[in-house]
Structure 1
Amino acid sequence: MTFFRPPAPSASLDRKRVIHLVDDTTPGGVMRYLDFLKSDAALAEAAEHILRPVSRGEIGRLSLDAEVIVSHLSVNWRALPSLIALRARHASARMIHVEHSYTAAFTALNVPSRGRFFTLLRSAYALFDKVVAVSAAQGEWLRARALVPWDRLEIIRPAVDLSDFASLPAPRARPRVIGAFGRLDRQKGLDTLIMAFRKIPGHDKTLRLYGAGADLAMLKSLAAGDARIEFPGHVAVPALAMAEVDVVAMPSRWEAYGIAALEARVAGRPLVVTSIDGLRDHAGPGVTLVRPGAVDELSQALLENATSSQTSDERIALAALAETATRDGWRRLIMEGTCLTSARLAEAEIASFAQAAVN
């Protein structure tokens, strides 16, 4: 992937310059989404999208030459002073934050002090002209908790280049390989998946957990003794791994959207997901929803050998629809106006916050 670079000399003068800030470049759905925004030809007609990896310590010291600055950054109390300083240094820029992490299920499972957490989010989000939710479910939660005013919240579902998934052959008529994709950590609920799979009798099925992460040793220990469970590691070309599986399982404990779910649907793979957060956005034909943590229910869903009845034309249409919706959402967001936040916040207040942040 090509990261931060100066604008090409041949770039059209009327194109906006959009810089996307990211502080976690771990391979995965978010980075592939950013690569789509950066390299998509249709989006490039209206704006030059530039990816800028940053460390937490440099965020508040950045001086960026761009009409639009998009934050894909982590929001926490330690990062808040840097976000304030970033806003103060770019008072005339339009600033947008994309919330990739926080959801209703995340909060329920990980946040003991809800009031303090919601104060953090309201304070951080107030620095931006727009906040983008990555799923309808996440957007509903942000509205319900009054974390973002209605007029500053947008919902844009992520997309990646889906052409390779749409062109995959259909899965086997009798599903044999169950696949799961993503980081090997608590969020993805892969411990639940292993326990559910181990309840399935016989030797005609395989479970493949594609990915890397801190929970690898724990998950291998949980799978010990069952030769049907495999750990192929991180895959550089996700479509090639998708071609190997017949059913995709996503038993996440929380999930803002879940790009792998979209990829599975476009690939015509039956999908078994927990009915939480943005995974609910994927409900439809070929998708089975199960309760989070319900091992027996998940095992039964996997055992039922669900099939997807999507035709090749329907899969191509789904891919085109998803990519177009993402393009249209970003074009509208980039072109809809100028900075609003600088008019809402007093310059003196911003300056004092920024001074405190850098001291």
Structure 2
Amino acid sequence: MNIALESLAASKLKQEFQFQLIHSRLYLPKFNHYDASVIVIHAAMSWRKFPALLALKIANWSTPILYQEHHYSREFVRHCVANPSRFKLMLKLGYALVDKVLTVSNPQADWLVDFCQLPESKIARVGQAKELSSFMAVAKIRRHSPLRLAAYGRLTKQKGFDLLIKAIAHFPDTDVTLTIAGDGEEKEALQQLVEHKSQVSFIGEIDDVSTFLSTADAVVIPSRWEPFGLTCMESVAAGKHVILSAIDGLAEQLPNPDERIGFEVIEPLSIKGIIEAIEKVSNESDLGVSESQRLATEQAWENMLQRWRQLLAEYK
């Protein structure tokens, strides 16, 4: 079950709405009727899932269906889609079966308007967030020597960790170290890039992200695509300096240029771009985002819940 929907169902909204979480892969068509005021789907749209989605629509014809688009974005298409026209057709057919498409960031919503000609009336810009109290509790630390960088997430092409590891090799281990948390299909390939250097360490999946971040000087997010980018929100809430690519939902989380204390943008997203961004951070004596930025990030959870409240109230 998706963490985002689990968090929503466990939030204070449960006092106003009754949630029932059902795990379904949508691979086989099942004409199950659900006794619900509204159905929310959180699964990546695909041709393979289309028959199951059609069956769900037919079996629940009078029930509004909301689809949370958490998977696709403008940069996803650029990096992963060989036939954009066919991909666009798949999205249009899928979205035609739902009443609303819920987006996790404004850049993603804007892309759907441009790419799929999706009308604004079909979109609900609910955004993405999480409860961040454990991250807000992370205390500010003095910069380490060597500089301690952290990166975390699924070890996949999307996250750009291959570029990061190659960039780290440019620095002596007396200047910079990198700890990577997470697991995924690219784990072995990434470990081979490291070879036998102690400068980069892999610690596998972690349960306590805030504790992981507490010992880092900065977090690197070199993602190739990111519909939202929850790692950035978590890192900012923890007060950490953030080195990130300005793409998709990550770009939305960047403050205005004159207010970017604690942010270093990777431009362009390349090995060279990452090296230059790390060099700039290495020259900083005081690292971290501002306290006002941390507080603004903490408020994002309440703001998102309010948008969900307004949306669900339409179907009560």
Is TM > 0.5 for Structure 1 vs Structure 2?
A: yes
**C-alpha spacing 1:309/1:190, structure 2 compared with 1 (3 Å):** closer
The 1-side partners of 2:309 and 2:79 are apart by 35
Partner of 2:136: 166
Q: Deviations over 1:75-118 (max 9, x none)?
A: 11111111111011111212100111111111111111111110
Q: Does 1:220 align with 2:191?
A: yes
Aligned equivalent of 1:329, options 296, 307, 316: 307
The 2-side partners of 1:241 and 1:174 are apart by 15
Partner of 1:279: 250
Aligned equivalent of 1:153, options 123, 126, 150: 123
Aligned equivalent of 2:68, options 78, 98, 114: 98
Structure number with higher relative contact order (C-alpha < 8 Å, ≥ 6 residues apart): 1
Given that 2:29 and 2:56 are in contact with CA atoms closer than 8 Å, whether structure 1 keeps it comes out as: yes
The 2-side partners of 1:37 and 1:221 are apart by 39
Given that 1:253 and 1:292 are in contact with CA atoms closer than 8 Å, whether structure 2 keeps it comes out as: no
- Report the TM-score, using the length of structure 1 for normalisation: 0.81
Given that 2:218 and 2:288 are in contact with CA atoms closer than 8 Å, whether structure 1 keeps it comes out as: no
Partner of 2:288: 308
**C-alpha spacing 1:50/1:287, structure 2 compared with 1 (3 Å):** farther
Matches within 5 A, 1:79-158: 79-158=49-128
Shift of 1:212: 0.4
Q: Does 1:318 align with 2:291?
A: no
Q: Deviations over 1:4-61 (max 9, x none)?
A: xxxxxxxxxxxxxxxxxxxxx4xxxxx33222101112x1122122221113345533
The 2-side partners of 1:140 and 1:171 are apart by 38
The 1-side partners of 2:289 and 2:77 are apart by 36
Amino acid at match of 2:297: L
The 1-side partners of 2:86 and 2:141 are apart by 47
Structure 2: 5+ residue runs without aligned partners?
none
Partner of 1:54, secondary structure, is coil
Q: Does 1:62 align with 2:32?
A: yes
Given that 1:188 and 1:254 are in contact with CA atoms closer than 8 Å, whether structure 2 keeps it comes out as: yes
Q: Does 1:269 align with 2:240?
A: yes
Given that 1:242 and 1:267 are in contact with CA atoms closer than 8 Å, whether structure 2 keeps it comes out as: yes
**C-alpha spacing 1:128/1:223, structure 2 compared with 1 (3 Å):** same
Amino acid at match of 1:235: I
The 2-side partners of 1:51 and 1:287 are apart by 37
**C-alpha spacing 1:183/1:59, structure 2 compared with 1 (3 Å):** farther
Given that 2:95 and 2:101 are in contact with CA atoms closer than 8 Å, whether structure 1 keeps it comes out as: yes
Partner of 1:3: none
In the TM superposition, structure 1's runs of 4+ consecutive aligned residues that sit over 6 Å from their partners are none
Given that 1:121 and 1:147 are in contact with CA atoms closer than 8 Å, whether structure 2 keeps it comes out as: no
**C-alpha spacing 1:291/1:245, structure 2 compared with 1 (3 Å):** same
- Report the TM-score, using the length of structure 2 for normalisation: 0.91
Given that 1:248 and 1:271 are in contact with CA atoms closer than 8 Å, whether structure 2 keeps it comes out as: yes
Shift of 1:271: 0.8
The 2-side partners of 1:231 and 1:198 are apart by 15
Partner of 2:243, secondary structure, is strand
**C-alpha spacing 1:32/1:177, structure 2 compared with 1 (3 Å):** farther
The 2-side partners of 1:304 and 1:59 are apart by 53
* Structure 1, 240-249 or 54-63: larger mean CA deviation: 54-63
Partner of 2:230: 259
Q: Deviations over 1:232-267 (max 9, x none)?
A: 000012111111212111111111101111001111
